[in-house]
Structure 1
Amino acid sequence: MAVLLSTKASTMEDWRDALLEVDPSLEIRLFPEAGNPAEIEAAVCWTAHDLGELRRYPNLKLLVSMGAGVDHLMRPPGPPPGVPVARLVDERLTQGMTEWVLLNVLRFHRQDPEYRAQQAARVWNELPAPDTARRRIGILGLGALGGDAARALVALGFPVMGWSRRPKQVPGVEAFHGEDGLAAMLARSDILVCLLPLTPETRGLLNADRLALLPRGAYLLNSARGGHMVAADVLAALDSGHLAGAALDVFEPEPLPPEHRLWAHPQVVLTPHAASITIPRSAAPQVVENIHRARAGLAPNNQVDLTAGY
């Protein structure tokens, strides 16, 4: 029985080598060279091919996402019926996301855009010192990524709030949930960080109505999915000054078209969906463990609730 690997061509061999380093006995096939469909028992995927292809494999026991998110595997036609889906919960992936959040929270908190503008104009001017204890951070999503970022921000002395669909508790974080909780947190968030999974319920969450709830002069960070935000509404909030700035790593569509206004907006810091990239050698052990669990008839670790979408 074989494992089908499907990802960007630039990382395909790295993933194969990392999996074989953990278990040299694995037979790994690189999409589109799947061979006999009946021999594929597990598929480790990103977005390299139509999900309908997976329905050709009658003995598929496991589908593994190569990232923390699984929205790319939830698109129609979705995973084959009855096949469990596992996502990655990887320390290196989590650390990378927390680093991106800290980088951009501190960028805005410590007035980096203003000082860069002054440097370009050759202006020597000391700005009022920011007060960490008064800069309120709101985090959308308190899962593995959001929880880790929240703890890191608490350690720096920021007052941190977090919102999730269901009640969750993170030490040192003021927790909110539900629609009323969302509105309450947004109204107090000087910097808003989106780390939610993308589901039908969270798509378009960052729209004009919700952005208007933020204090004037707030900052937005989105490294979750482009589908969480209505780009036109974010641009309008930036143009009006309601948002003082935004750090954006994810977009719809991707790549972001060259003519899109976000590229050149002076209040936007833009990165190409690179906030945190899965490192194959770090993630491979848990992928191999889940392959072994599937062979033994066990449920995978970090199994996705297909109804909830994460």
Structure 2
Amino acid sequence: MTFLYDADAERGAEWAALFAERAPEIAFHYCADAVDSRSVKYLGVWHPPTDISAKYPNLEVLFSLGAGGDQFDFDALPAGLPVVRMIEPGISDAMAEYVTLAVLALHRDLLAYRVQQAGGDWQPLRFRPPGALRIGVLGTGVLAKTSLSALQPFGFQLNAWSRSRQSIGGVECFAGKAEMDKFLSQSDILVCLLPLTSKTAGILNGALFAKLPPGAAIVNCGRGGHLVQADLLVALDSGRLSGAVLDVTDPEPLPADHPLRLHERVLLTPHVASMTQPETAVEVVIDNIRRHQAGQPLIGLVDRHRGYGGKTSRKKRRRTAVPLRTGPRLP
């Protein structure tokens, strides 16, 4: 059986050494041109080839090399091909670090001080104690829960919203459309950690911003497709929002002259909030390959019917997706 890592060659070499050490029985390759494609049973990619069925006729499992799988177009994949997203602790821990960094930067007015520094100003800004600040997290998955746990020691008021009812210690949880407005009204800093689906595309838009407290700020660590960029610029320029930290954009990277790149109230990072760590990622992939060989359930299997982690059909997107008015970090 052959596992093909078809992504960054430097990382591929790291994976190769780890596979040789921990699973020598699995043939590992990271150069697609140097392997017999008919021998590939397991494929790890960020973007799968468009002709995947023809190129890898014996493929049994497709692995996403990131935490999500929304970059996959399921219409172009064989209907019965299992798709597995990356589940490993390094991803959630790194995301929690980034969310904490972003929340603290907004809480302590670092964007405003950056503007002051550029203008030669020196003006202390009064900030609220953490207990008076409400942090709202869109999503209650593993990344969201780890991030909420990391924020708890600071004493913030923590809220979370998801489609279905959840219970998280120290966090006020909201659920469904009926409770969304109340959740938003109590979010001074809104953090998006939702999966990108036809129902969540464009969710960070003008209508949502209007329901946040005046002067609120946003952090987007989900996907660029969650954000309506034009609406964010309007909200920032009008003062409705005070700032934004964006780790994801659409496209990635943004053009050099894009308004979000130049805006003084926006902090951009190049999709680095979390990265898959080879040492732990390899363990997860090896475990899943062995599970598959033994006929056991796969960890991180994407549920195509729910739309989580993968693109739904084009027809469905046209009916339900919010229009966007306006890629990813390889592990």
Q: TM-score, normalised by structure 1?
A: 0.93
Could you say which residue in structure 1 is the equivalent of 2:37?
Answer: 37
Structure 2, unmatched stretches of 5+, are: 309-331
Q: Residue 23 of structure 1 aligns to which amino acid in structure 2?
A: A
Structure 1, unmatched stretches of 5+, are: none
The alignment partner of 1:307 has SS state of coil
Could you say which residue in structure 2 is the equivalent of 1:170?
Answer: 168
Q: 1:158 to 1:96 in 2, by over 3 A?
A: same
Q: Residue 77 of structure 1 aligns to which amino acid in structure 2?
A: D
Could you say which residue in structure 2 is the equivalent of 1:276?
Answer: 274
Instruction: Please identify, of 177-186 and 213-222, the stretch whose mean Cα deviation from structure 2 is larger.
Output: 177-186
CA distance in 2, matches of 1:261, 1:129: 28
Q: Deviations over 1:141-175 (max 9, x none)?
A: 11010011111112211111111122111111111
CA distance in 2, matches of 1:96, 1:62: 27
Instruction: Please identify, of 94-103 and 27-36, the stretch whose mean Cα deviation from structure 2 is larger.
Output: 27-36
The alignment partner of 1:289 has SS state of helix
Q: Is the 8 A contact 1:98 1:152 kept in 2?
A: yes
Residue 55 of structure 1: CA displacement? 5.1
Could you say which residue in structure 2 is the equivalent of 1:11?
Answer: 11
CA distance in 2, matches of 1:179, 1:270: 30
Residue 305 of structure 1: CA displacement? 0.9
**Is structure 2 residue 228 aligned with structure 1 residue 230?**
yes
Q: Is the 8 A contact 2:137 2:144 kept in 1?
A: yes
Q: Deviations over 1:2-32 (max 9, x none)?
A: 1121113443222333333321222123353
Residue 268 of structure 1: CA displacement? 0.3
CA distance in 2, matches of 1:160, 1:173: 5
CA RMSD of aligned residues (A): 1.8
The alignment partner of 2:304 has SS state of coil
CA distance in 2, matches of 1:178, 1:54: 38
Q: Residue 199 of structure 2 aligns to which amino acid in structure 1?
A: E
Q: 1:180 to 1:206 in 2, by over 3 A?
A: same
> For 1:1-310, what aligned pairs fall within 5 Å after superposition?
1-33=1-33, 35-47=35-47, 49-54=48-53, 56-73=55-72, 75-310=73-308
Q: Deviations over 1:29-64 (max 9, x none)?
A: 3353264333211111112x4243245433322111
CA distance in 1, matches of 2:261, 2:10: 25
CA distance in 1, matches of 2:195, 2:4: 25
Higher RCO (C-alpha under 8 Å, 6+ residues apart): 2
Residue 130 of structure 1: CA displacement? 1.9
Instruction: Please identify, of 123-132 and 141-150, the stretch whose mean Cα deviation from structure 2 is larger.
Output: 123-132
Q: Residue 87 of structure 2 aligns to which amino acid in structure 1?
A: V
Q: Deviations over 1:89-141 (max 9, x none)?
A: 21111111111111110001012223333444454443224211111000011
The alignment partner of 1:133 has SS state of helix
Instruction: Please identify, of 234-243 and 31-40, the stretch whose mean Cα deviation from structure 2 is larger.
Output: 31-40
**Paired residues, number:** 308
Residue 212 of structure 1: CA displacement? 1.1
Q: 1:51 to 1:294 in 2, by over 3 A?
A: farther
Q: 1:54 to 1:103 in 2, by over 3 A?
A: farther
The alignment partner of 2:29 has SS state of strand
Q: Deviations over 1:226-267 (max 9, x none)?
A: 000111111111111111000001011112111211101000
CA distance in 2, matches of 1:140, 1:200: 16
Instruction: Please identify, of 35-44 and 239-248, the stretch whose mean Cα deviation from structure 2 is larger.
Output: 35-44
Q: Is the 8 A contact 1:84 1:299 kept in 2?
A: no
